[in-house]
Each structure stands twice: as structure tokens, then as C-alpha cells.
Amino acid sequence: MKTARLRIAIQKSGRLNNDSMDLLYKCGLKLRPTQSSLFCHVENLPIDILFIRDDDIPTLVMDGVCDIGIVGENVLLEQSLGYLEAGNKKDYIVAKQLGFSRCRLSIAIAQDKPYVNSASLNGLRIATSYPNIVRNYLSNNNVNAEIMMISGSVEITPGLDMADAICDLVSTGRTLEEHNLKEVEQVLKSQAVLIKSTLALNPQKEETFDLLLRRIESVLKAQESKYIMFHAPKTSLPSIKELLPGCESPTIMQLEGSDDKVAVHVVSSEGVFWVTLEKLKHAGASSILVLPIEKMLN
Ligand code: PRT
Ligand code: ZN
């Protein structure tokens, strides 16, 4: 009998595509070369990948055309609010936050306009590609403003006097600055997430999903973790251990030809900053090495 293949929806091209594909490669997926730019068969696991626009990903997962997908929380919330308003129920779960494509959805106005708090938005025209999220935000904050739906280049509308404010994605803030706009309210924080249809999957697909999710969790954990090695006087170990948060049971080895010094190897589950290394050195550690971890399975 043919194995049922799990279908994943990924953005075809754009800001989410690279990191989504990178994550799947790190999970060991090998793609079969294909002529199609829309569909790809995974050689070594029963998985197929569908490449589509990010806006189509939530609907295809909610409708069960795809079993899982990777999409930004901003698009997911906008689409699912629309879905709920149309009388449908939410048919997906967020299986994992993936930590990439981080950005915020913010309201911005001209730099020279006065702003006190969200009440200052009353009576303004707000241009956005996220009308459902903005409507929700305005109603939760008792603001009465006009929403203008614009599908792209939202940031140019105040300069053309088409709008008084915008609500758009911000990451570095450069685009706002270049258009003489200032960020006044943060409406949503967003990152890429793995979503899954709530429709029951066939048991083979469920098994493939569990395996993929475990690998994704391992990849994310390994990305955050570092392997730290250093030499230290035995007497400094108690103070050194206090400097290594997120490190469990270090391996301690006797150094040949030295009775009072040991080698310490430890996995840190948190980012290791220069300031931590400097504190370690100050506490007596030497020959400190910090190495990335490629794979991790607990
Ligand atoms: O073609 P398709 O519909 O699939 O893609 P798209 O053009 O709709 O989206 P794309 O590829 O631009 O972005 C995909 C997702 O990346 C978004 O839905 C967000 O989840 C995430 N993301 C992260 C961003 C940004 N950062 C971002 N900075 N999406 C867009 N921007 C834009 C923003 O709209 C503004 O124009 O970048 C500009 C602001 O950037 P800064 O750095 O100048 O602040
Ligand atoms: Zn899009």
C-alpha cells in the first residue's frame, strides 16, 4: 500500500522562504530536483512541499488541502480574523513558534504630528494591508478611525495625503524613517510559526508530522545552545558554575600534569555573550572555547 504523504505549504519566494527551507534542510529533508516550481517531492521522507504565496497558506491548511504550513503570525491572525468574521471556525493549531522572520505590526504617523496616546488616532485615516487586525485593535482601544485597505507600499500614503497614519510591518524601522514617519503604537509582535490543520490526519501522516516536529524542536534547541570548554582551578568551580545559567551537569576532567586544574565541558542552552566569557576568565577560567552545536537529541 502507498504511504500517505504529509503536505507542507511553504512561501514560494520572499522573506519567509529562505529560513523555512533552511529549517527543513536542517531537519534532514532531501528534495528531489523537479521542473515544477510549485511542488516538490521529498526523497527520504513521505513529505511533499507546496510552494505558494504566504497569504494562501492559512486557508489551505484550514481547508485541509495542506496538512501543515509555515507562515508569519501577522498573516495568520489577519486571515483567521477574516475567517471568523465570515462565520467559519478556526481550524488550525500553532504547533511551534519558529523564531525567524521576527517583526512587529505598528501604527505610524508623520514625524511632525503631535501624539499623546491611542486617543490621538481618533478621526484619522489609517492605511493598512491588515484591516481585520487594525479594526480589532481600534475597537479594543475605543478609537474611532477610518481604515483604508491598501495592498502594498502603505508607507507612501501619508506623504501623498491619502492617509494620516499607517499600520504596517516594521523590522529595523528604516522604511518608516525614510518616509518621515514615527512609530506610535505596536499592535502585534510576529514571528514565523508552524501551523497544523485540526482535521484528523491519517495515522501515517500523523507519525511523519511527529517525527518532523521532534526534529524541528531539536534544530531550534541546537541553534540556541553552545558547547563551552575551558580550564579552571578546582577551587574556582563553585563560582564558575554560578556564571553559567542554563548549563546542566558539566563534565569535569583531570588535566594531565596538573593536580589543581581541571577541564570543564558543558552545554549551555542559552546564548553565550562576551560578557559571560569575560566573567568566566575573571573567575579563573582559561583556554575558553565556545562551539556551535549542529544536532542535539535528548
Ligand atoms: O509574495 P508573498 O505574498 O508570498 O510575500 P509578501 O510580499 O506578502 O511577504 P514578504 O515576503 O515581504 O514577507 C513575508 C513575511 O515576512 C511577512 O508576512 C512577515 O511575517 C515577515 N517579515 C519580517 C516582514 C518584515 N520582517 C518586513 N520588514 N515582512 C515585510 N517587511 C516589510 C514591511 O512591510 C515594510 O515595507 O519591510 C518594510 C519594513 O522593514 P524595515 O526593516 O525598513 O523596518
Ligand atoms: Zn503575501
Q: 150-162, pLDDT tens digit by residue?
A: 999 999 999 999 9
Question: Which ligand gives the minimal distance to the CA of 128?
Answer: 1
pLDDT value for 248: 74
Atom of ligand 1 nearest to the CA of 17: 11
Ligand 1 contact via 185 beta carbon (within 6 Å): no
Probe residue for ligand 1, chosen from 15, 20, 172 as the CB with the greatest number of ligand atoms within 8 Å: 15
Strands (E), 209-285: 226-233, 251-255, 258-268
Contact residues for 42 (Cβ-Cβ < 8 A; gap 6+): 29, 30, 31, 32, 48, 49
Ligand 1 contact via 68 beta carbon (within 6 Å): no
Ligand 1 contact via 15 beta carbon (within 6 Å): yes
pLDDT value for 33: 75
How far, in Å, CA of 244 to CA of 155, rounded? 45
Dihedral over Cα of 256, 261, 267, 271: its sign: negative
Atom of ligand 1 nearest to the CA of 129: 34
Atom of ligand 1 nearest to the CA of 74: 20
pLDDT value for 23: 97
Q: 229-286, pLDDT tens digit by residue?
A: 999 999 999 999 888 877 778 899 999 888 899 999 999 887 788 898 999 999 999 9
Burial class (CB in 10 A: 0-12, 13-18, 19+), 235: exposed
Characterize 148-159 residue by residue with b for buried, 16 or more Cβ atoms within 10 angstroms of its Cβ, and e for exposed. Answer: bebeeebbebbe
User: Residue whose CA is closest, atom 7 of ligand 1?
Assistant: 14
Nearest to 229 by CA among 195, 272, 180, 181: 272
Ligand 1 contact via 171 beta carbon (within 6 Å): yes
What tens-digit pLDDT sequence spans the chain (298 residues)? 788 999 999 999 999 999 999 999 999 999 987 777 899 999 999 999 999 999 999 999 998 999 999 999 999 999 999 888 888 887 899 999 999 999 999 999 999 999 999 999 999 999 999 999 999 999 999 999 999 999 999 999 999 999 999 999 999 999 999 999 999 999 999 999 999 999 889 999 999 999 999 999 999 999 988 999 999 999 999 999 888 877 778 899 999 888 899 999 999 887 788 898 999 999 999 999 999 998 888 7
> Which residues have a beta carbon within 5 Å of ligand 2, which is an ion?
54-55
Beta bridge partners of 265: 229, 251
| Amino acid, res. 114 | P
